[in-house]
Amino acid sequence: MTSICMMVGAQLITISQSCGYQPGDFVIKLCETLLKGQNFKMYFDNWFAFLELQLLLKSWNIWPVGTIRSNRLRWCSMKSENELKKGQGIEQLQNDLHNLYQTQWSCDWQMLFNVEKCKVLNFGYNNEDSKCYTLGPNVIKAGDNEKDLGIIVHQSLKSTSQCTEAVKSANKTLGIINRTFMYKDKNTTLRLYKSLVRPKLEYCIQAW
């Protein structure tokens, strides 16, 4: 059996008890045809959802299922998704560092941590630059770039620093070749360039 209630404009409907809002009253009109105390579940769109309606249906043992708009939760301060996620990654990373330092993993594998060689890089726009990570009693220094396996990684993920260093290194090698070799024909210079200079310019080029 299906009950249908048509809403036309600002049409008034007659119900036994109102929730105070017309869209919610139409839900009540439909629910009046249901038996009370039978633990029915009611699904409806958030346009019809009000906190007062939820409480009224609950008193009839009718359980509303769905979403409700935040502006209809009066006197309820709700945090946004970004506010709820803020700080979760920071706490997780700090807990991981603490567990690595406190457990016997580094001792068992004879790989003690050197805090002086550790550095914190903050990526993105919403990270807290003022956050200090610790490894045991030691504070890990923060920076804007770090060199790893010969590649400079900048917190902006731009390759400007790496390109500059690669060009400097290649120019130094060219200067050494120019000062060392007196006779430089085409074939010799080409071999020297391919074997000594070009690898410096193309080292891990896929990474930057």
Could you read off the pLDDT of 7-30 as tens digits, one per residue? Answer: 555 555 677 788 888 888 888 888
> End of a domain among 40, 59, 78?
78
Helix (H, G, I), strand (E, B) or coil at 65: strand
Residue 59: inside a domain: yes
Residues 73, 89 within the same domain = no
Check: CB of residue 44 under 8 Å from CB of residue 66: yes
Local confidence band at 5 (pLDDT 50, 70, 90 cut-offs): low
> End of a domain among 78, 109, 134?
78
pTM: 0.48
Using DSSP bridges, classify how beta strands 141-142 and 138-139 pair: parallel, antiparallel or unpaired.
unpaired
Local confidence band at 198 (pLDDT 50, 70, 90 cut-offs): very high
Residues 3, 68 within the same domain = yes
Q: What is the pLDDT of residues 66-103, one digit of tens each?
A: 787 777 776 666 666 666 666 667 777 888 888 777 77
Residues 2, 70 within the same domain = yes
Residues 72, 89 within the same domain = no
Print the domain residue range for 166: 160-207
